[in-house]
Amino acid sequence: MNKITATSLGLVALFALNGCNSTQLQTKTITGKAIDPYLAGATVCLGDDEQHCLSDEANVTTDAKGHYALVVSDRHFGESHTIVVTGGRDIATDTNFTGTVTAYHYDGNASINVSPLTTFAYAQIKEANATTPRARHAIEANLTTLFGCDVHADVVAEADRNHTTGLKMALKLARGAELLDANGTFEFYHLAARTHLAGKKHDMDALLRATAEEAEKETNGTGLVHAIDDVIDAINDANGSVHTIARDAHDAAKNAAGRVDGFSHKRVCKLTNTCGADQNHTSEGASGSDHNQTESHTSRRTSN
């Protein structure tokens, strides 16, 4: 009797253990494209609210066309997280991607494209402290009007069908972020989100210029507004294939980078409190002819 009982208990324990393991092994797959435009060989992970990859979830690498298939635990799938994309190579321009794009994952969505548009949506959701799915949906719906396309659209595929609005919006955001920071961090996206939430501008070109102006004010620097103008003009004028539009945007940002050398120096010393005499000199320059020239340049473009 004792032997039977022991055996029975062992089987119960074994089944319980297997059941537990079975629960732990349940997974879901999130698929989509990494876009800036398409990013090949990029790392994709499930991240927390600050874009840090979760240590208990595996990373994946995008394929040659920017597609990813991220397997995540069933437990995390049902929670609110971010999809974070770093590194890789822009296949349209054959250049390395040094920035980061992200998107919120919530409501158990199994298909998410990650692009500069979703990165801007992420920044605005953060700035607005939108913590509920309903509030996040409302923000994304509002941004659809600003972008002229769905926030989660595959803008490269749309451009291949001659609908280039979304691609151009994404490129303007991405190249603007690079001009503020060569590594394309989230700072530009957050500054643009704050500017948009303040109700200052309601179209993308005006919003990006206003964002550049805010960045210059914060650091008493100059050059970013002119650089953003150059990039906006180049992207607006670009026509043709995805490769051509992306290449024109890349070249414009590369050429405009020279305009922000001084601005970047002043921004860094301002943020690190190491400006000293340079800060006073910058303030004088910003209040003088350079600042007036920037205002005139911006006013002229806004009025056109």
* Average model confidence (pLDDT) across the chain: 81
Q: Are 263 and 199 in contact (CB under 8 A)?
A: no
Per-residue pLDDT reduced to its tens digit, 43-69: 999 998 888 899 888 899 999 999 999
Angle between helices 224-237 and 165-180 (to 10 degrees): 160
Per-residue confidence (pLDDT) for residue 267, from 0 to 100: 59
Per-residue confidence (pLDDT) for residue 179, from 0 to 100: 87
Comparing CA positions, the residue from 293, 147, 274, 140 lying closest to residue 207 is 147
Cα(279)–Cα(16) distance, integer angstroms: 67
What kind and span of H or E run contains 75?
helix 74-77
Percent of all residues in the chain with a pLDDT value above 70, rounded to a whole number: 76
Q: Are 174 and 116 in contact (CB under 8 A)?
A: yes
**Which residue has 């049902």 as its token pair?**
78
Cα(80)–Cα(51) distance, integer angstroms: 12
> Domains of the chain, with CATH numbers?
27-114 (2.60.40), 115-304 (no CATH)
| C-alpha distances in Å from residue 177, one per residue of 127, 165, 168, 237, 267 | 17, 19, 14, 20, 14
Respond yes or no on whether the N-terminal peptide bond of residue 37 is cis (omega within 30° of 0).
yes
Per-residue confidence (pLDDT) for residue 115, from 0 to 100: 97
Q: Are 276 and 266 in contact (CB under 8 A)?
A: no
Per-residue confidence (pLDDT) for residue 105, from 0 to 100: 87
Average pLDDT over residues 3-14: 46
Q: Are 85 and 44 in contact (CB under 8 A)?
A: yes
Per-residue confidence (pLDDT) for residue 182, from 0 to 100: 67
Helix then strand then coil, % of the chain, to nearest 5: 55, 15, 30
Q: Are 43 and 87 in contact (CB under 8 A)?
A: yes
**Among 115-119, 161-165, 270-274, which is the least confidently predicted range?**
270-274
Per-residue pLDDT reduced to its tens digit, 230-248: 999 999 999 999 999 999 9
> DSSP 3-state assignment of 55?
coil
Average pLDDT over residues 113-133: 94
The pTM score is 0.80
235: exposed, middle or buried (Cβ count in 10 Å: 0-12, 13-18, 19+): buried
Cα(229)–Cα(244) distance, integer angstroms: 19
Average pLDDT over residues 247-272: 74
Tell whether the model's pLDDT for residue 17 goes beyond 50: no
Cα(60)–Cα(20) distance, integer angstroms: 26
| C-alpha distances in Å from residue 246, one per residue of 85, 172, 203 | 19, 10, 21
Joined tokens for residue 183: 């590594």
One-character DSSP codes across 180-230: H-TT--THHHHHHHHHHHTTS-SSHHHHHHHHHHHHHHHHT--SHHHHHHH
Tell whether the model's pLDDT for residue 261 goes beyond 70: no
Average pLDDT over residues 215-224: 81
